[in-house]
Amino acid sequence: MSFSWTNPIPIAYKKLLQMEHPEQLLPGFSMHYRGRLNAPKGKSDAEKDDLPEFEPFKGAVPRGPQDYNSLTLMKLDLHKNENTMAHRTNSFKHDNLIIRRGQKFIMTLTFNRTYNLNTDTAMLEFVMGKNSLSGKATYVIVLLGPKCPISDQTCKWVVEVKMTGDTMTVGITPSADCIVGQYHIFLTVLVNPSGKKRTDLNTDIYVLFNAWCPEDEVFLSDENQRKEYVLNDQGIIFNGETDNVASRPWNFGQYKPGVLDACFYVLNKSGILLDDRKSVILVTRRTSAMVNALDDNGVLVGNWSGVYTMGTSPSAWTGSAEILLQYSNSGTPVSYAQCWVYAGVLNTILRCLGVPCRVVTNYNSSHDSNGNLTIDIFVDEDGTMNRTHTNDSMWNYHCWNEAYMRRPDMTLDSKYWGWQVVDATPQETSNGFYQCGPTSVKAIKEGDLCYPYDARFVFAEVNSDVVFKMVDRNGQWTTVQKNTTYVGKKILTKAVGSNVAESIMNNYKYEEGSPSDVAVMERATSFGCARDRSLHQETDVDIELMAPSVQLGQHFYLTLGIKNKSLEQRTVQLTVTCSVIYYTGVNFSSFKEERKTVSLGPSMTKNLIIEILANEYMDHMVDQGSLKFICVGKVQENNQVLAAGQVVRMEVPILSLKLDGEVRVGHEMSVTVEFTNIFNMVLEHVHLRMEGPGEMGFKKKYYEYIAPGASLTWTESFVPERPGEGTVVGSLDCPKLRQVYGKLEFYSQP
């Protein structure tokens, strides 16, 4: 079928060896594609096109440039300060000029002589990647001078030219839909009659999305929101549990040295076409795939096992910068992440690129549901949870991102423009690939799940019903209880300009049970989301589980309320199962089971108190220390089945950070971390971190061992490099105790 190479090589192959595009043999463009494309499409703005220094006109005999009286560039001024101030990119500490598209920037060119607008023709070429000429918008020409003809280039950049003597001041406005990334700049002068003389200006400009530009698809009208969602490099990520919301500081750190380049590195590694980088829709979708390591060697390796010895524990990170820098330096995925780490890093990348973006937290988030609207919890006839059947997982909380953009691809009108869900945490289901979104929050609210991307999945995360099912001996099951309000109980994000939580629940849902809500659920199911339609009998006894807020390591009391709504005697057999769960809702191990029989007179209410001792659960704790209690009961008189569930999050101690001395730009400030092991267990392998804003660095410390009752103090010094408010974030992490954070807000004098 195939023959060996000893045979004479066929003529076509000989041709191939003299091909014009040898780069077609480079990785990413296999030889097999030769007949498929004229030239490989650009996928990296880091690669450079080597345009010739002299390009003879066709027909003209190339005698080399006639330099007599020809125009030469003496001096170039990019006006970095004015431009970056005007473009709000001055916080980036970067050698290159960073601007935003759709907005004018200026540069000054000084020539060897006066530029004659009538006889001279010079142009600036903005070039991105390899084979830039064959790309749709990777090669932009800007003609200098008034006689610039109207050209129908795919991507128009507006030019203004002002001559004063030998200096020309050029104002250039990149089109509001140009490619986001690095452009290399050439100055090209026409040397008649022979050809073009090209001067490499040896500089790249970085062009970002522009939330300040009304024509840009990421335009956001409110200045405070733009400051928060694009410019703010510090944030708060909410976690914990619905009835006990906690929060952690997160340092997005987009201004730290190297982070912007790391973000472009991620884009280049993602293989998204340069031509596609004008579209915020495609950029956010690809980034959501790249932030997780799966199927594309992306940024972060997920780990939910509780064992992080081969990397950094997800809860140990204090911000995104360290992760992105480690990734761009090593080129290999960073260990480890859970949802808030994915969300924090994606937020940094998108804010870096200029896309308004925020981290949101959904409480009781339904997962792995294949876009179906039911979470099944199976219980056996004896009231214990059936763990083989129960596989739908519900997370105490789940973090994802919202990015702000237009969605012309969805509807003709703008009704679904605005915030879009993008989720970088790898799910089991998204067309077989680990990416999710962007999907319009407004469309989720309306149950319009027919639009790209992954709308059904996100809808299920906030709208599923929790259904308790009892399995009989034949393996048949019947629904005993249904809870339609448990999932998506709260949806929070950091408020604009402050650290408090803002509820954005109303963006995602109508009020539970309201006519619109009912209509939306119907609509969603008609788009193919399977929903549990089974009915369950109304019971005449109610049960409820109540727990106080609990300090990790303390014993506490769980209250089980039983209410007989009937007018007859009722006897109830109850089973309470106590388990330790991951924040993903997955059961780690059950440590206690209580069986009680209670009899109640007509309309009587009783409270059962169950004591939970510290040593019953401490040995089993994982990660973010949550306990789950499930109570199932049976009414003897009528065989009615009762069910109730409650998750209790254990509060962990806070890390205290103290400031010594005054804070002034350029001067050392010293921060002290204090922590006491209040538990009667040894804390082993303790990792401590501190991170400051902007260019302030990361500090780490490792303790083998902290004895019960022992305290530690650790002092580090930082040098603030910009005036105004700032935050130092600290974390403590060890296998037995995670999610310990603290932060210190300071104001540094100029």
Q: What residues numbered 44-63 form the site for a second copy, per CB under 8 A?
A: 57-59
In the residue annotation, 398 being an active-site residue is answered as yes
What's the min distance (Å) between Cβ of 477 and a second copy? 6
Other residues' Cβ atoms within 10 Å of the Cβ of residue 257? 15
> Is 270 a residue that touches a second copy (CB under 8 A)?
yes
What's the min distance (Å) between Cβ of 275 and a second copy? 6
Of 227 and 700, nearer to a second copy (C-beta) is 700
> Is 301 a residue that touches a second copy (CB under 8 A)?
yes
> Is 381 a residue that touches a second copy (CB under 8 A)?
yes
- Using the rule CB under 8 A, give the single segment among 256-264, 310-318, 356-364, 483-491 that binds a second copy: 310-318
- Using the rule CB under 8 A, give the single segment among 62-70, 275-283, 357-365, 741-749 that binds a second copy: 275-283
List all residues 6 or more positions away from 4 whose beta carbon is below 8 Å from its beta carbon.
none
> Which one of the listed residues 87, 94, 398, 536 is annotated catalytic?
398
Tokens of 659: 């400031």
How many Cα atoms within 13 Å fall on the side-chain side of residue 657? 23
> Is 431 a residue that touches a second copy (CB under 8 A)?
yes
> Is 94 a residue that touches a second copy (CB under 8 A)?
no
> Is 750 a residue that touches a second copy (CB under 8 A)?
no
Q: For a second copy, which residue of 53, 77, 382, 668 counts as binding (CB under 8 A)?
A: 382
What's the min distance (Å) between Cβ of 152 and a second copy? 4
> Is 530 a residue that touches a second copy (CB under 8 A)?
yes
* Residue 238 one-letter amino acid: F
Q: For a second copy, which residue of 239, 254, 435, 493 counts as binding (CB under 8 A)?
A: 435
Q: Map the footprint of a second copy across residues 398-427, applying CB under 8 A.
A: 408-412
> Is 11 a residue that touches a second copy (CB under 8 A)?
yes
CA distance 184 to 319: 31
Of 356 and 447, nearer to a second copy (C-beta) is 447
Q: For a second copy, which residue of 63, 387, 595, 658 counts as binding (CB under 8 A)?
A: 387
- Using N-to-C axis directions, what is the helix angle for 280-290 and 259-270, rounded to 10°? 90
Of 93 and 687, nearer to a second copy (C-beta) is 687
Q: For a second copy, which residue of 71, 78, 123, 266 counts as binding (CB under 8 A)?
A: 123
> Is 365 a residue that touches a second copy (CB under 8 A)?
no
Q: For a second copy, which residue of 6, 7, 118, 224 counts as binding (CB under 8 A)?
A: 7
Q: For a second copy, which residue of 662, 684, 725, 745 counts as binding (CB under 8 A)?
A: 684
Strands (E), 80-166: 97-100, 105-111, 122-127, 139-144, 158-164
Residues binding a second copy: number (CB under 8 A): 129
- Using the rule CB under 8 A, give the single segment among 73-81, 445-453, 567-575, 599-607 that binds a second copy: 445-453
Q: For a second copy, which residue of 66, 69, 112, 478 counts as binding (CB under 8 A)?
A: 478
In the residue annotation, 542 being an active-site residue is answered as no
CA distance 351 to 250: 14
- Give the three-class secondary structure for 87: coil
Tokens of 24: 């077609």
Q: Map the footprint of a second copy across residues 621-680, applying CB under 8 A.
A: 622-623
CB 430 within 8 A of CB 454: yes
CA distance 733 to 702: 10
> Is 452 a residue that touches a second copy (CB under 8 A)?
yes
Q: For a second copy, which residue of 28, 38, 498, 605 counts as binding (CB under 8 A)?
A: 38
The 8 Å CB, 24+ separation contacts for 72-75 are 72/111, 72/112, 72/199, 73/109, 73/110, 73/111, 73/112, 73/187, 73/199, 73/201, 74/110, 74/111, 74/112, 74/166, 75/108, 75/109, 75/110
What's the min distance (Å) between Cβ of 446 and a second copy? 12
> Is 190 a residue that touches a second copy (CB under 8 A)?
yes
CB 402 within 8 A of CB 417: no
Tokens of 322: 């360290």
Phi and psi angles of residue 81, each rounded to the nearest 5 degrees, phi first: -65, -55
CB 463 within 8 A of CB 513: no
> Is 476 a residue that touches a second copy (CB under 8 A)?
yes
The residue assigned the tokens 């902290």 is 706
> Is 481 a residue that touches a second copy (CB under 8 A)?
no
- CA distances 654 to 20, 248, 250, 580, Å, are 64, 11, 15, 22
> Is 134 a residue that touches a second copy (CB under 8 A)?
yes
Alpha-carbon torsion angle 526, 529, 534, 536, nearest 10: -110
> Is 700 a residue that touches a second copy (CB under 8 A)?
yes
> Is 136 a residue that touches a second copy (CB under 8 A)?
yes
Tokens of 445: 């609210």
- CA distances 645 to 578, 629, 648, 689, Å, are 10, 6, 10, 36
- Using the rule CB under 8 A, give the single segment among 218-226, 470-478, 539-547, 552-560 that binds a second copy: 470-478
Of 160 and 512, nearer to a second copy (C-beta) is 160
> Is 523 a residue that touches a second copy (CB under 8 A)?
yes
What's the min distance (Å) between Cβ of 593 and a second copy? 13
Of 325 and 558, nearer to a second copy (C-beta) is 325
> Which one of the listed residues 339, 399, 436, 578 is annotated catalytic?
339
> Is 15 a residue that touches a second copy (CB under 8 A)?
yes
Concatenating the DSSP letter of every residue in 236-262 gives EEEEEETTEEEEEEEE--TTSTTHHHH
Of 362 and 748, nearer to a second copy (C-beta) is 362
Other residues' Cβ atoms within 10 Å of the Cβ of residue 716? 19
Q: For a second copy, which residue of 46, 687, 703, 714 counts as binding (CB under 8 A)?
A: 687
What's the min distance (Å) between Cβ of 384 and a second copy? 8
Phi and psi angles of residue 263, each rounded to the nearest 5 degrees, phi first: -65, -45
- CA distances 687 to 622, 676, 732, 733, 740, Å, are 17, 14, 6, 5, 11
Q: What are 188's strand-pairing partners?
A: 123, 198
> Is 273 a residue that touches a second copy (CB under 8 A)?
yes
The residue assigned the tokens 């209250």 is 559
What's the min distance (Å) between Cβ of 299 and a second copy? 15
How many Cα atoms within 13 Å fall on the side-chain side of residue 232? 26
Q: For a second copy, which residue of 22, 27, 35, 515 counts as binding (CB under 8 A)?
A: 35
> Is 389 a residue that touches a second copy (CB under 8 A)?
yes
Vertex 308 angle, CA 307 and 310, to 5°: 120
Of 295 and 542, nearer to a second copy (C-beta) is 295
What's the min distance (Å) between Cβ of 745 and a second copy? 27
Q: For a second copy, which residue of 151, 221, 224, 639 counts as binding (CB under 8 A)?
A: 151
Q: From residue 599 to residue 618, what is the string marking binding to a second copy with x (rule CB under 8 A)?
A: --------------------
CA distance 292 to 424: 6
Q: Map the footprint of a second copy across residues 201-260, applying CB under 8 A.
A: none
Q: For a second copy, which residue of 474, 538, 609, 750 counts as binding (CB under 8 A)?
A: 474
**Burial of 293 (C-beta count, 10 Å sphere; 0-12/13-18/19+):** buried
- Using the rule CB under 8 A, give the single segment among 229-237, 272-280, 349-357, 633-641 that binds a second copy: 272-280
CA distance 291 to 313: 17
What's the min distance (Å) between Cβ of 303 and a second copy? 4
> Is 131 a residue that touches a second copy (CB under 8 A)?
yes
DSSP conformational letter for 274: G
Q: For a second copy, which residue of 582, 591, 617, 675 counts as binding (CB under 8 A)?
A: 582
Vertex 494 angle, CA 488 and 500, to 5°: 105
In the residue annotation, 184 being an active-site residue is answered as no
Query: Catalytic site residues?
Result: 339, 398, 423
